[in-house]
Structure 1
Amino acid sequence: MKPFSPSLLLFCSALILLTLLSCTQEFDPTAGEPEVVTEGFQFTEGPYWHSDGYLLFSDIPANRIYKWTPGNPESEVFLEPSGNSNGIDARPDGTLLLAQHAGMVSEVTDSLTTTPIASEYNGMRLNSPNDLTVRSDGLIYFTDPTFGVSDEEQELDFAGVYRINSDGSVELLYDRFRLPNGIAFSPDESYLYINDSDTGQILRFEVLDNGNIENPEPFANVGALAEMGGSDGMVTDTDGRLYTTGPNGLIIYDRDRNVIKRIPFDHQITNLAWGGDELRELYVTSPSAIYRIPMNTQGW
């Protein structure tokens, strides 16, 4: 039997090493750096990519929703007043939904007026609906912290996570957060992620077929609320990675809770949304500007 030559052994060793390195390197979901696409706002939140090819986002203190179209550095007013809207999402049929700091969740009519679909729980005023997400069967889940309600107006002595059922009833799902904020489904809707801005904790709940949630387990903690913000908006991609804002910028986790990447910002960021062609862009809201990040992965 002819022995291996030294050069062949060296080649084989190098090939094995490269294979091992490629297996251990984490996939980078980002394909570029954040860039500002539109700016000049008071405090933006709740980005939502419309299927017609534009981005909607809230400016909470301005009491407006803006519309930004790619290629245009300026944004136009889409809805005013907005009820101091924060989170924006849509029913499966495309009807827009707003979480409003004015104390309600509303839908947007074809004539661009708002109609409340939830404003109280057990006869008491909701605090300050903050963010919302919609399951594929139309069930609406929203968080209700106390950010936008005065002491005089507050009637509930807790901050809850709720579901709006198909019959319009409002059901409390969880009441152990201090300041529940961001909320997002896993791509297969088997899990629901909810975070607490006060503590920075992200919990992952199992979602049952009937829409109930159970077995909350700690998923991650991004740090307590600070001058640079806190745990706020969240999204997931088609591979199940979780993207969240935090007091130190954007943090990306894999499904096993490992941090894949951190993207620092020199100011607070507030929320996230997938957009662009094939949902391969990540939009990031901050108090005064909207950022776009090209991605190597896809939203849903």
Structure 2
Amino acid sequence: MRSVVRSMTLAFAVAACGGGGGSPDDGGDGGAVDGGTADAFTGDPLDGVGAVEPVMGGFMFVEGPQWRDGDADLLFSDIPASTIYRLGPGGAVTVFRQPSDMSNGLALDPQGRLLAAEHGARRLSRTENGAVSAVAERFEGARLNSPNDVVVRDDGTIYFTDPPYGISDADRELDFIGVFRVAPDGTVTAERRGALTERPNGVVLAPDQAVLYVDDSDAAVVRAFDVMPDGALGAARTFATTAATPDGMAIDAAGNLFVSTSAGIEVFAPDGTRWGAIAIPEQPANCAFGDADHRTLYVTAQTGLYRVRLAHPGLPRR
């Protein structure tokens, strides 16, 4: 049985089928943005949420789910196992890439090539026809910290987060914690030079790609950045405060943000107010929309891969 915790009932757990369309509470921190689309649904995105189903367990620590429409499959990382797995159309899970240099977040570029944020190699890589090459591994001569998550704009601009997870202070070469942009011509820019205490993690674009969301796992906030026409980012503003350790994120067609946290999958409206949360059996690390209708939310959560059906479509990340 699924469990949805809605903000308007504070922490009251509601099990079973969706209720009447409510409105989110006033728990957000502002920084309102219009990330929706003109033909998107309105109302509570948690109405009609189905049961959370296990797909497969027994992994070490899974992350980075990425749906591929053309192949009708889901790719995801097992970081300690240094493996990218493939969930095929028939439900079989097979090895896609091994070793994966401890890949974490995954994304697709406009040509459908796989991008991977690699902890082990401290780089962002691209896989094409089985060959793996570096997209970004140094900035101003220094090695990156530990690329964590990645998202791509329609024009090919890439954004990725670079916290220091998995490396010691002695091994760190950059004097800041960054959010980076890779332009279509390959130029790498540090869009945010954060303090060494920052932990930027999940990253996702609004449906109109005019806003980039980045969460900070230690500060338990989601920040929003306006995206300029050339792909550069404006100043950060607080979009929402979450439960502890926000991680990977997904977004639906109406601009509702789905954030993996210690509370499950927390859902925020485009203005930053909180709709509620979907409880997951294990603490989730990331999530992504998939299947042909984009109404299945796949969730990577510690040792397991889960899925849950929603009434409204999401946007598979690119």
Normalising by the smaller structure, the TM-score range is: 0.7 to 0.9
Matched, 1:276 2:291: yes
Moved over 4 A (4+): 21-26
For 2:253, the equivalent position in structure 1 comes to 238
* Cα deviations by residue, 1:129-170 (Å, 9 ceiling, x for unpaired): 000000000000000001122333211122100001122121
What displacement does 1:28 show? 3.8
For 1:136, the equivalent position in structure 2 comes to 154
For residues 244-259 of structure 1, what are the structure 2 equivalents within 5 Å?
244-259=259-274
Distance 1:223 1:273 in 2: 19
Distance 2:187 2:230 in 1: 14
If the length of structure 2 is used for normalisation, what is the TM-score?
Answer: 0.82
Distance 2:176 2:115 in 1: 24
RMSD: 1.6
SS in 1 for 2:293: helix
Larger Cα-atom Rg: 1
For 2:82, the equivalent position in structure 1 comes to 63
Q: What is the aligned counterpart of 1:220 among 234, 237, 240? A: 240
Tell me if structure 2 keeps the 8 A contact 1:199–1:223.
no
For 1:203, the equivalent position in structure 2 comes to 223
If the length of structure 1 is used for normalisation, what is the TM-score?
Answer: 0.87
Matched, 1:117 2:135: yes
Distance 1:61 1:297 in 2: 34
What displacement does 1:86 show? 0.4
Distance 1:86 1:194 in 2: 16
Matched, 1:106 2:106: no
* Cα deviations by residue, 1:68-102 (Å, 9 ceiling, x for unpaired): 12443x41111001011001101111011111112
Tell me if structure 1 keeps the 8 A contact 2:161–2:200.
yes
What displacement does 1:299 show? 1.5
Distance 1:206 1:185 in 2: 10
For 2:60, the equivalent position in structure 1 comes to 42
Letter in 2 for 1:147: Y
For 2:93, the equivalent position in structure 1 comes to 75
Letter in 2 for 1:80: Q
Aligned residues: 273
* Cα deviations by residue, 1:215-263 (Å, 9 ceiling, x for unpaired): 3211111134xxxxx1100111111101101121110111122211212
What displacement does 1:23 show? 6.8
For 2:168, the equivalent position in structure 1 comes to 150
In structure 2, runs of 5+ residues without a counterpart are: 1-18, 24-42
Tell me if structure 1 keeps the 8 A contact 2:76–2:85.
yes
Distance 2:240 2:311 in 1: 23
Distance 2:144 2:207 in 1: 29
Distance 1:254 1:122 in 2: 38
Distance 2:222 2:68 in 1: 27
SS in 1 for 2:314: coil
Q: What is the aligned counterpart of 1:159 among 168, 172, 177? A: 177
Percent identity over the alignment? Answer: 39
Tell me if structure 2 keeps the 8 A contact 1:129–1:142.
yes
Matched, 1:27 2:44: yes
What displacement does 1:31 show? 2.6
